[in-house]
Amino acid sequence: MPFILPELPYDKSSFGNLISVETFDFHHGKHHKAYVDKTNGLIADDAGLSGASLSDVITTAQAKGNMALFNNAAQIWNHSFYWQCLTPEKQTPSGELKTMIDEGFGSLENLLAKFKEEAVGHFASGWAWLIVEGGKLKITSLHDADTPLVHEMKPLLTIDVWEHAYYIDYRNARPDYVDALLANAINWEFVAENLDGQGVSRADQS
């Protein structure tokens, strides 16, 4: 079965000016779709990967040094995860996640400030991540298509900092894009589900 472009988990008009319909049309409908189409084309040339899950394709492609396949498959997964990190309904962390944030960063405000610093400071294309590493929350960023799936990292939250994620709505103002999403559009329920891996598996497909 070829991989598919997953449906967005919300109506693409529900974010108003935070994320425009035009951005979703291009980012999901064209960029994300292109990664799906390219991955399916590359897998058609590798019978050994027939029927493999997306996460298995990503790890196998990296192990084989097939970077074209790795980049496209990892971008499918990263984008599927990213869409689920967003919600049009403003949320705040609670429960175990809130406790971990307070213990690791002192407060949600401190976490968001450090996340913004990482996302804005990341040079060129890539992804800013909140992860669990060694049992602790940590903020990091990865370049291009690189993904926590091939590192000893449990991903909780990501923001896409490729220019295609924000150029339509925010032009070159990456800080404004990051600020807007962090303040208004983070699905903290999904972030909390990732503490035990529930959300991570929802970004996979086979």
Where do contacts with Fe ion occur on this chain (CB under 5 A)? 160, 162, 165
Nearest residue (CB) to Fe ion, 49 versus 157: 157
Of 64 and 143, CB closest to Fe ion = 143
Q: Considering beta carbons, is residue 86 or 100 the nearer one to Fe ion? A: 86
* Calpha distance 23→6 (Å, rounded): 16
Q: With the C-alpha atoms ordered 61, 161, 9, 89, is the resulting torsion angle positive or negative?
A: positive
Q: Give the H or E element holding residue 37.
A: helix 33-43
| Closer by beta carbon to Fe ion, 49 or else 141 | 141
Residue nearest to Fe ion (CB): 160
| Minimum distance from residue 50 beta carbon to Fe ion (Å) | 27
Q: Which of 127, 110, 206, 121 is closest to 165 using CA atoms?
A: 127
Two tokens, residue 143: 């370049």
Nearer to Fe ion, 4 or 63 (CB): 4
Q: Which residues are registered as beta bridge partners of 136?
A: 133
State the nearest-atom distance from the C-beta of 77 to Fe ion, in Å: 12
Least Å from the CB of residue 137 to Fe ion:
24
In the complex with Fe ion, which residue's Cβ is closer, 145 or 191?
Answer: 145
CB 205 within 8 A of CB 53: yes
Longest Cα–Cα distance of the chain, Å, equals 50
Question: What's the CA gap between 36 and 30, in Å, rounded?
Answer: 10
Q: Are strands 126-133 and 154-160 parallel, antiparallel or unpaired?
A: antiparallel
Rg of the chain over Cα atoms, rounded to whole angstroms, equals 16
To Fe ion, the closest distance from the beta carbon of 128 in angstroms equals: 12
Least CB distance to Fe ion at residue 125 (A) = 9
Is 186 in a helix, a strand, or coil?
Answer: strand
- Give me the least distance between CB of 40 and Fe ion, in Å please: 18
